[in-house]
Structures are given as structure tokens and as C-alpha cells.
Structure 1
């Protein structure tokens, strides 16, 4: 067992103990945040009292921390890019531990990220000037650590003066854009993990392709061949990759409607949904009132009302289950659960994978009638079941069925759904989901 270090060890107060190693969040981003926060604290302290905290001394730790934070952030971005490339079946290699040349690090990331997905370009263009400024003054992290280079040349003789307020403005802007870069990488990691891409086309480019294709009923027309060749040339893809892209589009809940195809709901159909919401509406007969009018109950009648409602609920559930058990199938149960639990997702691919998991689970549950009943009643109990499934219907481009349900059960005034396909604006997709 390693002897306890008297300097680098825990103590009191406990709140002053920092978690490190396997007891902490070890990674480029975690380290980078520490250096950037240190730089910002020193800058703010210096600017708050320029007489007490001489900028001539503080400039070195400030700029070293700033530069090292940026180096770590870029290395973290490269690691994310390497992971992204692996999802796509590509291999990227970079010496993350051996290289400290920030210009070389940036050039590698910029070239490879934009080659991988052109959505990186907008953010790269924002951060590039400041990173190049850093690389020009301190390429390898030595300039602000030592007064002389290993060749005994004095550092910063061509700079002379560095303004703290300018540093704060430029560094804070860089940090915000590097945060955006991190968010983009996180989003793309999730997006690519859904599998909707080809060798050269991202999910966003597939959406763009789908929007430029004529509807499928026109594909047999002579003009389609010319359109196809134009799109292939524009995207610089082979005929084989174009075919793969078309197959993804034709089987994608969000893209298929752009070419005139409507994909069936996972495990559900119109008649069953109408039947299910008829039962749900019976059980939640006061759902609209609950959302618009507060219930006032006197203390004297509270207990009597509770037991009366409990008995009514039990009887109603028993009657609903008696009718349900005769028509409920594993597919219907899996479909309801998928639509309910995934209604807030931003990737429709999750409905497909989620339904497969739910169906496997439903087939197991159906071997025990009580478990089947419990799973169904759990959904029936949900007061937000109607709104969640409606949202799923709009998301999967079954707007007509969603509007029919709204009108049939007279819930338009409560949920404020618009009678048009633009209701999909309910889904707040990040800007990264689209091509810029």
C-alpha cells in the first residue's frame, strides 16, 4: 500500500477536498475547465484592483492557463471525433499525449472534422482566429512558462504589451464557442449512433436529399433519371451509395413522408388507438376539468369522497380490463408503451428500436395475465397518456390520425394543438440537426 502523501492528501474541512484520479471525473474537459476557471479568476481579480494585483506578474499564469485549457479542449474534441469516426467505420489516429503544438492540433481537428461532417465548419470558423493567435505566440506551451526558450532566446520580445481586458473578451468568446463545439460533438455522437448515415452522407444530408427528391410516384418518369444524376453529382456519391441513401429514406419515419411515403405505426393501428382512447376517456372522464378547473373539497366530505372514488375507479378498471383482455396483443401493448415513453425523443429511430425492446418484453409479460393487466393499467392511469401519444403521432408524421383523435375526443381546447402539419414545431430540435 502506498504511503500517504503529507501534502497531496485529504483533510478538514471536507468541502475543501478535491476529488482526483479514480475518485474524480478524469478527462480532457474536466482538466480544461480547471485551467480556464483559474485564468478567469486571475483576470477578474487583477481587473478589480489593478494596483494590488500587478498585471506584469499575473500575465504569465493567466496566459499559460488559458493556452493549456484550449489545448486540452481541442484534444478532447479530437478524441470525440475519433469516437465518431469509429461509429461510421472509419479510423482516425492522433498522438493526443505526445503532441503539444496547438497549431498542429487545431489543423488536424479542423481538417478532419469538416471532412467528416460539414456542420463543424460554422463553429470552426468562429474559433479559428483566436486559436491561431495563441499558436502564433505560444505554439508549444513554453512561452508563458519560462522567460527563455531552450535555445536561450527571450520570449515575447515581439509582443511587448498584453491587455487584460482584451484577454478577457477574447478568451470568454472562445470559451463559449468551444462549449458549442462540445455540444455539437455530443449531439453528433448521439445522431450517428442511430445509424442513419451512409459512407459520405450524414443524417442531415439525407434529410436534404429527401427534400430535393420528387415524390416516389414520379420516379418512373423519364425526368427522374436526370434528377438522380444531378443529385449524385451534387453530393459526389456513387450509384451504389445513392441506392443505400434511398433505402434509408424510404424506411425512415421523418424522411419517408418527404417523398410521399407514410410508414405504419410501430405495433398500432387507427382502430385500436380509437378504442384505447375511448377506454382512457371513460377512466379520465374529468381529464379536461382537471386541467382547467381546480377541485374544491370540504374537509368533512374528504374521506367519504375518497373511498367513493376509489370504489368507482376499481369497478371501472375491472370493466375496462374485461373488454381489453379480449383484444389486447403484445404488439398493441408494445406500441402503446413505445409511443408513450418515447414521445419526447428527437430521433425517430428510437421508436423503431424502442418498439423492438418493448415487444420482446410484452411477449414475456403476456405469459402471466396479471402482469399483462398491470402493464396496461399502468398506461391507462397516466393522465398525460393522450398528450404523449398525440405528440408521438405528430412526430412520426401521422398528423391526420392525431387530429382525428383530438376532434373525436374534443380535447383541442385543452391541449391547444394546431390543425396542421406545422404542429411539429412542438419538437425543439437543436440547430445542429440541420445543415447550415
Structure 2
């Protein structure tokens, strides 16, 4: 799009020798607020190191202004991004227009603290840790004027009460603040998937609900164990102000696939039962066990050690294995319904990446793989039984989904 490109003497490309200094910006670099913030947050330490390493004593009084201004502007941009992303976790309504127009760190930080407290204790803990460093900036340059201009709008000289700023001291504490901001950004990013599950209440996060479930004990014993006194203790422990808030949390636990297992209620899988899982294991062992014994590894691929070159390939073993696999498919494919295969595929995929899935993802994943199995049943069967580590993946998924009894009854509880 030549007509939309604006280059001139100052803003343009470098030659081949300096092309590594061509910075990608705008739609060429797709920067966001955090990209901008990162540049401003890195600048103070780079400039201070330049002064120290080159013994630029005479430049300290000049460079202090861009150094501190860059730090302050990086903080402002970071807080705006944090505020917007954090509010989305629980769908807390804030005006994006107002956030982008605010330049006061004090206002941004007050709102950030408020939303962190409403959202998750993990976020509130970090905001509490860096509050002293934020307050230092608020006291000196709340509105981004102090290090941009020598005087205020009413003609008062800036920094009259802070006539000395030691850059080594400044960088030391600024790095602590920068680290805290990055931790908030990282935690918010990690919490996005957790909060997408919808497993939280006004007062409790998913992690809090897990802790509460473990405190409740077995559901079948509540008539005698969940007394008024115990409810009072639980409300105090989890900072719940009423019986209604506790009841809402308990209801959330009882209706959740994983959390309910912590109180002794196991929600069954959609299509798989004990007999089908045992059949799956029987077929898997027929296909893999005799080969894996040769390599002393239950989860090894029987074809993985056929040879490192064509001359070393054991063709007879390969052909025998493929013929045996074909016979097994012909024999056992009819015994699995499309629904069974979809459920097994879901378990294998969730178990393979168990650190990236929640029990709440089960239904959506199952629907996807059910469509695939109905389109091509043979391919679904092949995917499951081509997976040499399927046993361990299914076991992980059963634990992830809270199916402890099913896991034990179908002999996956090893």
C-alpha cells in the first residue's frame, strides 16, 4: 500500500549495513500497550548503565529527566493494560475510555487495587507488595508533569522538595516495582483460562472453592458434620459474610465435575463406563504389550526401534505388526460406538495436556470429537490405538475429571 506509506529524511529505512537497526513499528510490528510499556520500562536501566559504565558524571543532571519520565510512563501504560485485562476476568464493568484518558497514577492504582481485591487474592497479594513503590511515584510525579517540564501550570518549580535523586538508588527500587508489575501481568494471563471456566463466586475463586470443598468433607456425612458451628468457622476462614454466600459456594462445588469429586460425588462420563474402559485396555494390551515387553517399556512405540537405517529395519516384524493391527481393528472396531471413541479421544487429548485443561473443558472437547467420530469412525479408532501412551493419558484425564472410583474400578488406579 504505497500511498499509505510515509517515509522522509528523518523517519525512514537504513542501508544494508545498518538494517538491523530498522525498528518495526505500527502495523509492521503490531505493538500493543505492553510493547510500548516494555520500551519505557527498559530505558531507565539502560541509560543509567550508560552513565555508570562510561563515567558520565556531567550528564547525570540532564539524563535524570528522561530516565525517571520513561519509568513513570512505563508504569502508567502497564497499569492501564493491567486494569483492563484484570477487569475482564470477572467481567467487572469499567469504562475503557476513562481508563485510556487517565494519566494520574494515583487514580489508576486505586482502581487497580480495588479490582484486584474483588477478583483474586493472588492478584491482591502482589498489588499489596508493590504499593509502597507506587506511592513513591505518586508523591513525586502523579500526573506526568514533573519530569517533562521545569515548572507546573501555575509557575511552581518542580522538585523543590526533592532536590537530589540518586540514580543507583532509584533503579534499585524501580526494578522491584517493575518485577511486581510483570508478575501481575503474568498472573492475570494465567488466570484467564481459569476464570473462563466460570467456576467462581462473588467472593471465591476456583482455587478457593477447591480449598472449601476439601474442608467440607464427604457429602453423605453433612447431616452430622456440617453443623452451624462448622459453617461459622468456614465463613470466617473464607471471609464469607453470610450463609447465602456459603450456600452459593457449596452449590457451585456440587455442580462442578471436579469439585464435586472432592466431596464424594462423582459425575459420570457422558458415554464411557467401567466395561468400555476395560475393553479399551484389553485391546491396547493386545496391540502393544508383547512388543513393549521386549523394550521393557509399556509406553514405547513398537515400531520405534526397528532400525536406524533401511538395512537395519526388521521387515518381518514390521509386516507382522501391521497385519496384527489390521486384524485387531477388524475385530474390535465394531465393539466401540462412535460415542465411546469420542469419549476416549477426549480423555487422551486432555490427559496428554493435563496442565492446559480443566475439568470444565470436558463437554466442549467431547462435542468436538463426537462430530469427528461420526464423520469417520475408523479414523477415530486409529487415532486412539495408534497412541502408545494412551493408557497414561486416560489415567491422567480420569484424575483431572474427578473420576477416582471409575479409574479404580476399570483398573487405571495404578
Partner of 1:331: 339
The partner residue of 2:42 within 34, 37, 53 is 37
Deviation at 1:170, TM superposition (A): 1.2
SS across alignment from 1:97: helix
Sort the Cα spacing of 1:399 and 1:236 in 2 relative to 1 into closer, same or farther, 3 A: closer
Cα distance in structure 1, aligned partners of 2:225 and 2:404: 32
Partner of 1:376: 381
Sort the Cα spacing of 1:169 and 1:290 in 2 relative to 1 into closer, same or farther, 3 A: farther
Sort the Cα spacing of 1:198 and 1:178 in 2 relative to 1 into closer, same or farther, 3 A: same
Alpha-carbon deviations, 1:337-358, whole Å to 9, x = none?
Answer: 1111112234221123212332
Give the total of aligned pairs. Answer: 398
State whether residues 273 and 406 of structure 2, in contact with CA within 8 Å, keep that contact through their aligned partners in structure 1. no
State yes or no: 1:184 paired with 2:187. Answer: yes
Sort the Cα spacing of 1:290 and 1:34 in 2 relative to 1 into closer, same or farther, 3 A: farther
State whether residues 350 and 357 of structure 2, in contact with CA within 8 Å, keep that contact through their aligned partners in structure 1. no
Partner of 2:212: 209
Cα distance in structure 1, aligned partners of 2:78 and 2:226: 50
For residues 81-120 of structure 1, what are the structure 2 equivalents within 5 Å?
81-86=86-91, 90-93=92-95, 95-120=98-123
Cα distance in structure 2, aligned partners of 1:222 and 1:281: 45
| Bigger shift: residues 321-330 or 52-61 | 52-61
State yes or no: 1:49 paired with 2:51. Answer: no
State yes or no: 1:340 paired with 2:340. Answer: no
| Bigger shift: residues 336-345 or 249-258 | 249-258
State yes or no: 1:302 paired with 2:281. Answer: no
Cα distance in structure 2, aligned partners of 1:167 and 1:372: 65
Partner of 1:318: 326
For residues 244-393 of structure 1, what are the structure 2 equivalents within 5 Å?
244-285=248-289, 286-287=291-292, 289-290=294-295, 295=305, 297=307, 302-303=312-313, 305-306=314-315, 308-343=316-351, 344=354, 345-362=356-373, 364-365=374-375, 371-393=376-398
Deviation at 1:391, TM superposition (A): 1.5
Cα distance in structure 2, aligned partners of 1:334 and 1:130: 53
State whether residues 100 and 140 of structure 1, in contact with CA within 8 Å, keep that contact through their aligned partners in structure 2. yes
Sort the Cα spacing of 1:63 and 1:91 in 2 relative to 1 into closer, same or farther, 3 A: same
Deviation at 1:230, TM superposition (A): 5.6
Alpha-carbon deviations, 1:85-115, whole Å to 9, x = none?
Answer: 42xxx42236122211111211111122212
Instruction: Work out which structure has the larger RCO, using CA pairs closer than 8 Å and 6 or more positions apart in sequence.
Output: 1
State whether residues 32 and 72 of structure 1, in contact with CA within 8 Å, keep that contact through their aligned partners in structure 2. yes
Cα distance in structure 2, aligned partners of 1:216 and 1:382: 38
Deviation at 1:383, TM superposition (A): 1.7
The partner residue of 2:133 within 98, 118, 130 is 130
Cα distance in structure 1, aligned partners of 2:257 and 2:271: 14
The partner residue of 1:144 within 129, 143, 147 is 147
Cα distance in structure 1, aligned partners of 2:407 and 2:225: 37
Sort the Cα spacing of 1:2 and 1:322 in 2 relative to 1 into closer, same or farther, 3 A: closer
Deviation at 1:321, TM superposition (A): 1.4
The partner residue of 1:76 within 72, 81, 105 is 81
RMSD after superposition: 2.8
Cα distance in structure 2, aligned partners of 1:296 and 1:373: 26
- The two structures have a TM-score, normalised by structure 2, of 0.86
